[in-house]
A and B are shown apart, each in its own frame.
Chain A
C-alpha cells in the first residue's frame, strides 16, 4: 500500500486526469438517468396519447366531457373516472388530513422522547405496507365491519377503499408535518410561554401557523399520493365506472366505482393490444402523470416559498 501511494504521488498527472474525467462522465451519466426517465414518461406516454386522440373513433372533446366510460362500446368519456378519483381523494383526505395533523402535533409538541422514538417508526411502518395488502384489508375485513354498523355496502364499494387510502396516507401527512413543526425554533415557543400562553395556545397559535407551509406541502403530497393510488382501489372498488350521482350523494359511497388508476389496470388486463381502448390507457396515464407531477411541484414550491425563515 505504501509503495503504491508513493507511486501515485510521483506519477505524471495527465493519465490520472484522464481516468478522473472518465469517472466524472460515468457518474454524470448515472445522474442523467432520472432526467431520461422523466423524458421517457412524457415522450412515450404523450406519443401514445396523441396516437389515441388521432384515432377516427375518438373525439378529443368527447374524451374530456363524456360522461360514460365503456370499453366494449368504445365510449371514452373520462369524467366518470375523474369523479371516481375525486371521490376517493376527498374522502381519504377527510380522514387523513385531520388525523395526520393531530398526530404530528402530538409527536412534535406533547410526546416524550421515548414515546416519539416508538411512535414515529411505527407510523413509518404503516407507510411501508404494500398497497395491495391495504386493498385486501378493505375488501375482506373493513367492508363486513362497516356493514355491522348498518351501512348498506356492496361487496365492492367506495367507502371502505377510501378509508383504507386515508389510513395509508396518514404517515405521509404526519411525518412531513412533524418535520415542519420540529423545525420551528424553540425561542418562539418560549416567547409565547413567557407571555402566559398555555401549551394548547402555543401549539395552535404559534407552532402550527409557523409551520403552515410545511403542513400544506405535506397535504398536497398526500393528496397526490391518494390520486395515484392504484392497488387499493383496483382490489376493493370493483371495475365498473359510474358517473357521480348528484341526486343521491350517499349512494355513491355504498356502490363500487372506478377511478383513473383502476381503469388503467382493467384496460391492461383486457386483451386488445392496439385498439382504441388500449391506447386510451396512455391518455389517462398522461393525465394522471401531469396532475401528480404538477401537485408535487406545487408542494415543493409552497414549502420553499412560504417558509418562515428562522436562523
Chain B
C-alpha cells in the first residue's frame, strides 16, 4: 500500500456523522434494491399465473396513498374467497410461524422440514411415475431391479467366498451388471454386427448369445401381478434405504422391521383405499412408498430428541386450514379464481388453437428425463475427478504441473458462456458423432458438460472438509488409499457432494441456450418415450412462448410456465439447503 499520510490523520476533531450515515444508507439501499426489484417481478409473474384477484364476489375499494391528494388512489379488489382463506389458512399459519420465530425454537426448522419432506417426496414420486408412464413399464422395471439384485449378489458373494482375489473381483464388478442387464454380448451389439454383415452381403453372423437376467425375467410366464411388482420395485428399495437408518439409530432390528412393515402396509392399503378416493392404486402405491419411510424416520428423530416437537403441528395447521377454507367457500358458494397454472396446464401439451388449453406436460417430462440422464452421466465423472484432484493428485514434477493445469482449466470452464457449450454439443454430438438432433440425451450431455465444473468444484470442497486425521487413522490401520476413500472419505463427504450436485442440477434445469443450439424442437406434442427420442424441456418451451405476442400468452401461459419452472427450482434448492443445514448441525454436534 502507498505510504502517503491518510487524510483522516490530519483532521482529528472534525468527524462528520452525516457522511458515514449516508454511506451506510446507500450501501443498504443497494443491497435491497436488487432483492426488492426481483421480488416485485416475482410477485407480478405469480399474479399473472394464478390470477388470485379475479373471482366473484369481491370487495372493491380505493386507498388514497397520500391523504388529500386525489391523484394517487390505488384501487383494491379483494375477492371473498381470499378473505375466507385468509381467516382459515393465512392467519393460523402466520400465528404459528410467529410463535416458532418468537420462541426461537428449533420448531421452525422442524416445521420447514416436515412440510418440505413430503413435497420433495411427492416430486420424486411424480418423477418416478412419469418414467413409468413414458419410458418403462412396471414389468421392465421389475426385471431390471431383479437383474441388478442378481449382479450385486454375485459381487457380494465373490467378496465373501474369495476375499483376496481383488483383480478377479474388479472383473466381476464390470462383467456381472453387463451380463445381468444386457446379456453377453448385448443385443444391440449383435444387431450392429449383423447389420454390418447384412450390408456386406453376408447373412447374420452372431446368432447365439447368453440371455440377460432381465430378458429371462421379462420372458418368464410367471410374472407376478402388477401391484406385487410395484411393491417390489418401488416400495422395497425405499424401505431398504430408510429401514437400516432407523434400525441403526434406535439400535434395534425390530424398529427397522416395523418401519418396513408399516410402509408396506400403507402402500398395500392403496389397493383398497385408492379406488374409494378416486385415485389410481398405482399412484397411491408410488406416492405412499416414497413419502412414508423418510417422513417416519424424520418424525421419529424429532420425537426421540424432543427438540422442536411443536413444529410437527405445522403441516396439520396448513392442511386443516386449506380444507376448512375450501369447504366453507364451497358451502357459501363464493367463486374461486381460474388460475393459468392448474392441473390442465401441467398435463396438457402445447395447443395450436387455444391458449387456455395449452400445457407444459411434454417439456416437463423432457426436463425430468434430462435431469435423470445428467445425474447418471455426469455425477460419477465429477465425483471421480474431485477424488483424483483431492486424494491422488501429485503436487510436484511434470504430473503436478498437469494437475495445476486441470485445476485452472476447471475454474475457467465454469465461466464459459452456456451458449458455447451448446455449440460444443452441436459440433461434437450431432455433427461429429451424428446423434439425433434435439434428442434428450444430447441435451443432457451438453448441459451436463456445462455443470461438470460446478459438480467437481463442490465435490472437491466436500472432500477437502474431511479432516486429515481420519485418513491417517485409516492408513494407520493398514487400509489402502482406495479403501480409505471408499470407507472413510466418501461417506463423510457424501452429504456435501449431494448438496453441491443438487444445486448444480438446479442450474441445469433452467439452462436454455445449449438446448436451443442442439436443436431441441420448439413444440413437442407427445412426451419423449426414450432417451434417444426428440424431446423438449421446460425452459425451451418457455422461450417458444415468449415469441407469442398475444396477451393471453404474455400474461398467462408464459407466466404459468415461468412459475412452474421456478417452483421446481425452489424445491430443489430448498432440499439442498435442508441437507446442508442438517449436515452442518451434525458436524458441530
Q: Which A residues are within 8 Å of any B CB, using their own CB?
A: 4-5, 7-9, 11-12, 15-16, 18-20, 22-24, 26-35, 37-38, 40-41, 44-45, 48, 98-100, 102-103, 105-107, 109-111, 119, 121-123, 125-126, 128-133, 135-137, 139-142, 167, 170-171, 174, 192, 195-201, 203-205, 209-210, 221, 224-225, 227-231, 234-235, 261, 264-265, 268-269, 281-282, 285, 288-289, 292-293, 295-297, 300, 308
Q: Does B20 contact A (CB under 8 A)?
A: yes
Q: Which residues of A contact B408 (CB under 8 A)?
A: 297, 300
Contacts of A26 in B (CB 8 A): 384
Q: Is the CB of A136 within 8 A of B542?
A: yes
Contact with A along B271-313 (1 / 0, CB 8 A): 0000000000000000000000000000000000000000000
B191 within 8 A of A: no
Interface-facing stretch out of B239-247, B254-262, B419-427: B419-427
Query: Chain B contacts of A8 at CB under 8 A?
Result: 163-164, 478-479, 483
Least Cβ–Cβ distance between A230 and chain B, in angstroms: 4
User: B27 contacts A34, CB within 8 Å?
Assistant: no
Interface size class of B (residues with CB under 8 A): 35 or more
Other A-B pairs beyond A167-B37, A210-B1, 13, CB < 8 Å: A4-B163, A19-B482, A31-B403, A32-B406, A34-B410, A37-B452, A41-B420, A106-B24, A122-B35, A133-B510, A170-B34, A200-B20, A296-B411
* Docked CA distance A32–B405 (Å): 10
**In the complex the two chains form, is A19's CB within 8 Å of B416's CB?**
no
- Please tell me which stretch of B140-148, B165-173, B210-218 contacts chain A, meaning at least 4 of its Cβ atoms lie within 8 angstroms of it: B165-173
Contact B30 A98 (CB under 8 A): yes
Residue of B nearest to A33 (CB): B381
- Please pick, from B1, B166, B420, B483, the residue contacting A209 in the complex, using a CB distance under 8 A: B1
Among residues of B, the one whose C-beta sits closest to the C-beta of A135 is: B546
Residue numbers in B under 8 Å from A203 (CB-CB):
23
- On chain A, the residues within 8 Å of B559 by CB distance are 140
Determine the distance from Cα of A295 to Cα of B249 in the docked complex, in whole angstroms: 51
Does A289 contact B1, Cβ atoms closer than 8 Å?
Answer: no
In the bound complex, CA of A269 to CA of B522 (Å): 10
Nearest A residue to B35, CB-CB? A122
User: Which of B341-349, B387-395, B527-535 lies at the interface?
Assistant: B387-395
CB distance from B83 to the nearest CB of A (A): 28
Judge whether B558 is part of the interface by a CB distance below 8 angstroms. Answer: yes
Could you tell me if A27 and B384 are in contact, using CB atoms closer than 8 angstroms?
yes
Complex Cα gap A142–B40 (Å): 11
* Majority secondary structure, B binding face: helix
Within the complex, the shortest CB–CB distance from B392 to chain A, in Å, comes to 5
Which one of B6-14, B68-76, B488-496 contacts A?
B6-14
Q: Is B423 touching A281 in the complex (CB atoms < 8 A)?
A: yes
- List 6 A–B pairs whose Cβ atoms lie within 8 Å, in order of A's numbering: A11-B164, A103-B31, A106-B30, A130-B509, A230-B513, A297-B408
A136 touches B511 (CB 8 A): no
With beta carbons under 8 angstroms apart, the residue of A102, A107, A119, A264 that contacts B517 is A264
* A30 and B385 contact, CB distance less than 8 A: yes
Interface presence of B315 (CB below 8 A):
no
Which residues of chain B (508-531) have a CB below 8 Å from chain A? 509-513, 516-517, 519
Chain B residues whose CB sits within 8 angstroms of the CB of A18 once the complex forms: 166-167
Interface centre among B23, B31, B163 (most CB of A within 10 A): B31
Contact B385 A289 (CB under 8 A): no
Residues of A within 8 A of B452 (CB): 33-34, 37
CB neighbours (8 Å) of A198 from chain B are 8, 15-16, 20
**List of 8 A-B pairs having minimum Cβ-Cβ separation, nearest first:** A228-B417, A130-B510, A30-B384, A106-B27, A27-B388, A102-B30, A200-B20, A44-B427
Name the A residues within 8 Å of B9 (CB-CB).
195-196
Greatest chain B CB density within 10 A among A37, A288, A296 is at: A37
CB–CB B27/A103 < 8 A = yes
B435 to chain A, nearest CB (A): 14
Q: Is the CB of B253 closer than 8 A to any CB of chain A?
A: no
Residues of B within 8 A of A103 (CB): 27, 30-31, 34
Mark B462-482 against chain A: 1 for CB-CB distance below 8 A, else 0. 000000000000000111111
Interface string of B43-70 (1 = CB under 8 A from A): 0110000000000000000000000000
Residues of A with C-beta under 8 A to B558: 136, 140
B-side contacts of A209, CB under 8 Å: 1
Across the interface, do A31 and B406 meet the contact criterion of CB distance under 8 Å?
yes
Assembly CA distance A279 to B391 (angstroms): 43
Q: Is A130 within 8 A of B8, CB to CB? A: no
Q: Which residues of the partner chain A approach B516 to less than 8 Å between Cβ atoms?
A: 234, 265, 268-269
Q: Check if B331 is an interface residue, CB within 8 A of chain A.
A: no
Contact of B419 among A30, A199, A221, A264 (CB under 8 A): A264
* Interchain Cβ contacts within 8 Å, total number: 290
B413 within 8 A of A: yes
Residues of A within 8 A of B384 (CB): 26-27, 29-31
With a cutoff of 8 Å between Cβ atoms, the chain A residues found around residue B26 in the complex are 102
How far does the Cβ of B327 sit from chain A's closest Cβ, in whole Å? Answer: 36
* B18: min CB distance to chain A, Å: 10
Q: Is B182 an interface residue (CB 8 A)?
A: no
Q: Contacts A293-B412, A297-B412 given; indicate if A285 touches B27 (C-beta within 8 A).
A: no
- Whole-angstrom distance between the alpha carbons of A102 and B34 in the complex? 12
Footprint of A on B, CB under 8 Å?
1, 6-9, 12, 15-16, 19-20, 23-24, 26-31, 33-35, 37-38, 41, 44-45, 159, 163-167, 169-170, 380-385, 387-389, 391-393, 403, 405-406, 408-413, 415-420, 423-424, 426-428, 432, 449, 452-453, 456, 477-483, 503, 506-507, 509-513, 516-517, 519, 539, 542-543, 546, 554-555, 558-559, 562, 565-566, 569, 573, 577
**Is the Cβ of B428 less than 8 Å from the Cβ of A224?**
no
Distance in angstroms between the alpha carbons of A199 and B385 in the assembled complex: 45
Beta-carbon contact of B27 and A228 below 8 Å: no
Instruction: Specify which of A18, A23, A110, A281 lies most central, judged by the most chain B CB atoms within 10 Å of its CB.
Output: A23
Do residues B41 and A141 form an inter-chain contact, with CB atoms below 8 A?
A: yes
Check B33–A140 contact: CB distance below 8 A. no
Among A126, A140, A205, which residue has its beta carbon within 8 angstroms of that of B6? Answer: A205
Minimum C-beta distance from B308 to chain A (A): 19
B565 touches A130 (CB 8 A): yes
Q: Which residues on B sit within 8 Å (CB–CB) of A5?
A: 477
Determine the chain B residues whose CB is within 8 A of the CB of A229 once the complex forms: 417
Given A261-B417, A264-B419, A297-B412, decide whether A234 and B543 contact each other with a Cβ distance below 8 A.
yes
Of the candidates B30, B388, B415, B479, the one whose C-beta lies within 8 Å of that of A30 is B388
Contact of A227 among B20, B417, B478, B562 (CB under 8 A): B417
In the complex with contacts A141-B44, A293-B416, A106-B28 CB distance below 8 A: yes
Taking a contact as CB atoms under 8 Å apart, the answer to whether A288 and B166 are in contact is: no
Q: Are B562 and A38 in contact (CB under 8 A)?
A: no
Q: Which of B166, B387, B423, B543 contacts A16 (CB 8 A)?
A: B166
Query: Given A106-B31, A205-B8, A292-B417, do A27 and B385 touch, yes or no (CB 8 Å)?
Result: yes
CB pair A285–B420 under 8 Å, yes or no, is: yes
A296 and B415 within 8 A (CB): yes
Contact A132 B539 (CB under 8 A): yes
Q: Is the CB–CB distance between B510 and A265 below 8 Å?
A: no
Which chain A positions have C-beta within 8 A of B426?
268
B507 and A40 form a contact (CB under 8 A): no
Closest to B539 in A: A132
Given A126-B38, A129-B38, A264-B423, the answer on whether A140 and B555 have CB atoms closer than 8 Å is yes
If A106-B27, A130-B565, A228-B418 touch, whether A35 touches B406 (CB-CB below 8 Å) is yes
Would you call B416 and A289 a contact (CB within 8 A)?
Answer: yes
A296 to chain B, nearest CB (A): 4
* CB–CB A265/B170 < 8 A: no
CB contacts (< 8 Å) of A204 on chain B: these are: 23
Q: Please determine whether A35 and B405 come into contact, CB atoms closer than 8 angstroms.
A: yes
Pair A102/B31 contact, Cβ less than 8 Å: yes
* B165:A141 contact, CB within 8 angstroms: no
Chain B residues, Cβ within 8 Å of A44: 424, 427-428, 432
Give Cα A105 to B24, complex, Å. 9
